[in-house]
Structures are given as C-alpha cells and as structure tokens.
C-alpha cells in the first residue's frame, strides 16, 4: 500500500515531499480532500 501511495503522490502532487492531496494520518490511514 505504501508504495502505491508513493507512486500516486509522485504523479499527482506538485512536491511529493510535502503532500497536499494525499495526507498520511499516523495510526489511521490516508486522507483525501473533499471536492
């Protein structure tokens, strides 16, 4: 799962090191913005 999220971030984010679209919530999972 982590490697898939990493690949998505590389494709979608302007700066994959500082994600804005796909955020990791420690101990919970991932959060996506509402649109």
For 1-35, write each residue's pLDDT tens digit.
788 989 999 999 899 888 888 999 999 999 988 87
Question: Nearest Cα to 6, choosing from 20, 29, 25, 22?
Answer: 22
CA dist 10 and 27 (Å) reads 23
Domain count, the chain: 1
pTM confidence score: 0.65
The residue segments making up the domain with residue 23 are 2-31
Report residue 26 CA to chain centroid gap.
Answer: 12
């Amino acid at each position: 799962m982590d490697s898939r999220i990493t690949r998505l971030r590389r494709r979608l984010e302007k700066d994959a090191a500082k994600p804005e679209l796909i955020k990791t919530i420690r101990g919970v999972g991932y959060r996506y913005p509402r649109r």
